[in-house]
């Protein structure tokens, strides 16, 4: 038996119950992992509240790190005793141990501790695919301006450092001066407090009136419309979250009027759909984290 969090219906944090569950043996393509640390993410809130509906009852949590205890038939990239970390469906990381699909579980390099491993997989792989795979026409070159909202959040603080590493001029937004300062100290070239400044006007100012090639927007409802104003012609609006609520329906004509813009809605789970792509992206993440990238997480022990 092990302890795990379960919810029986969507709702607030009070829906979470600590229960005893049986953790069985892994079937084909699965592993059993004993967690040393788990990661918390905004998607956990969407899943708990029902913005992303789940079948009940369910576990919660999509990210963790620990030691593999057993592997099922057909799993060749992991063995019992391996240190490992993952970002993966189905929800269920809020537990001491679990059986789960092996596909998205990666061997954790010795240079990376469990807490860092648990904090970096979902958030770091998201920063990886956004900056390396979700690109405007012609790609991004060193010196290009990009706008990244909520830059002081978990994904944002990794993206700020990675963008600097890539030579990009990242303009980050955040909701307080303290958060702006934190993002600046970790690599954002420019920061805007979007609670008290008109971020579209500031982006125009910073880019000499040209606008940015791409906006990475996880805030959603509150930033959507103004973000379109920040783009140069043929720019890319990459929306990937709903922290303030989902983006409302819009008429495609608006994209033409603002300069033949592109819009895409991205999710990590399309990018890590195969074992090969997961490992390739994770290797890229491991190398930058092992070389000193700091994470914005706060470890909590209990
Ligand atoms: N599609 C994907 O593949 C994918 C993967 C991972 C994460 N995400 C999304 O990326 C975003 C960041 O995730 P995270 O784990 O880094 O979360 P996080 O650390 O909690 O950061 C979320 C940030 O959103 C900002 N925010 C703006 N309006 C908000 C509101 N009404 N309520 C709460 N926060 C608000 C807050 O920053 P300020 O106070 O500075 O405004 C907060 O720091 C989330 O929207 C998440 O769903 C998407």
Q: How many CA atoms lie within 13 A of 84 on its CB side?
A: 29
pLDDT at position 290 is 85
Q: What is the mean pLDDT of residues 197-225?
A: 98
Query: Atom 13 (ligand 1): residue with closest C-alpha?
Result: 42
Q: Is the pLDDT of residue 282 over 60?
A: yes
Q: What is the pLDDT of residues 19-75, one digit of tens each?
A: 999 999 999 999 999 999 999 999 999 999 999 999 999 999 999 999 999 999 999
Ligand 1 and 26: CB distance under 6 A: no
Ligand 1 and 175: CB distance under 6 A: yes
| Percentage of the chain lying above the pLDDT 70 cut | 97
Strand partners, 87: 63
Query: Atom 30 (ligand 1): residue with closest C-alpha?
Result: 244
Q: Is the pLDDT of residue 300 over 70?
A: no
278 CA distance to ligand 1 middle (Å):
22
Displacement of CA 179 from its chain's centroid (Å): 18
Enter the pTM of the model: 0.96
pLDDT at position 301 is 58
pLDDT at position 291 is 82
pLDDT at position 4 is 98
Ligand 1 and 296: CB distance under 6 A: no
Q: 302 pLDDT band (50/70/90 cuts)?
A: low
Query: Atom 35 (ligand 1): residue with closest C-alpha?
Result: 243
Q: What is the pLDDT of residues 76-135, one digit of tens each?
A: 999 999 999 999 999 999 999 999 999 999 999 999 999 999 999 999 999 999 999 999
Q: What is the pLDDT of residues 218-253, one digit of tens each?
A: 999 999 999 999 999 999 999 999 999 999 999 999
Instruction: Name the residue of 63, 243, 246, 266 to mutate for ligand 1: max ligand atoms within 8 A of Cβ.
Output: 243
Q: 180 pLDDT band (50/70/90 cuts)?
A: very high
**What ligand 1 atom has the least distance to the C-alpha of 179?**
40
Q: Is the pLDDT of residue 296 over 70?
A: no
CB-based contacts of 205: which residues, under 8 Å, 6+ apart? none
pLDDT at position 292 is 75
Distance between CA 259 and CA 237 in Å, rounded?
A: 12
Q: Is the pLDDT of residue 267 over 90?
A: yes
**What ligand 1 atom has the least distance to the C-alpha of 155?**
16
């Amino acid at each position: 038996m092990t302890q795990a969090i379960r919810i029986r219906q969507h709702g607030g944090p009070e829906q979470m119950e600590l229960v005893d569950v049986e953790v069985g043996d892994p079937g084909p393509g699965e592993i059993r992992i004993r967690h040393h640390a788990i990661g918390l993410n905004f998607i956990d809130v969407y899943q708990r509240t029902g913005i992303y509906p789940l079948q009940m009852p369910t576990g919660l949590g999509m990210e963790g790190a620990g030691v593999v205890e057993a592997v099922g038939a057909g799993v060749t990239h992991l063995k019992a005793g391996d240190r490992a970390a993952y970002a993966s469906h189905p929800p269920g990381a809020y537990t001491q141990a679990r059986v789960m699909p092996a596909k998205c579980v990666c061997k954790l390099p010795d240079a990376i501790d469990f807490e860092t491993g648990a904090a970096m997989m979902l958030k770091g792989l998201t920063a990886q695919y956004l900056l390396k795979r979700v690109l405007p026409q012609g790609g991004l070159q060193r010196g290009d301006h990009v706008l990244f909202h909520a830059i002081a959040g978990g994904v944002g603080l990794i993206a700020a450092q990675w963008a600097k590493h890539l030579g990009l001029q990242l303009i980050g937004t955040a909701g307080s001066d303290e958060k702006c300062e934190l993002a600046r100290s970790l690599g954002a070239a420019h920061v805007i407090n979007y609670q008290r400044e008109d971020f579209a006007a500031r982006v125009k100012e910073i880019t000499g009136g040209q606008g940015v090639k791409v906006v990475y927007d996880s805030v959603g409802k509150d930033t959507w419309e103004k973000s379109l104003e920040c783009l140069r012609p043929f720019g890319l609006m990459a929306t990937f979250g709903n922290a303030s609520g989902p983006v409302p329906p819009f008429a495609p004509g608006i994209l033409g009027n603002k300069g033949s813009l592109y819009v895409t809605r991205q999710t990590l789970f399309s990018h890590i759909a195969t074992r090969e792509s997961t490992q390739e992206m994770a290797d890229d993440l491991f190398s930058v984290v092992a070389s000193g990238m700091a994470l914005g997480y706060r470890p909590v022990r209990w």
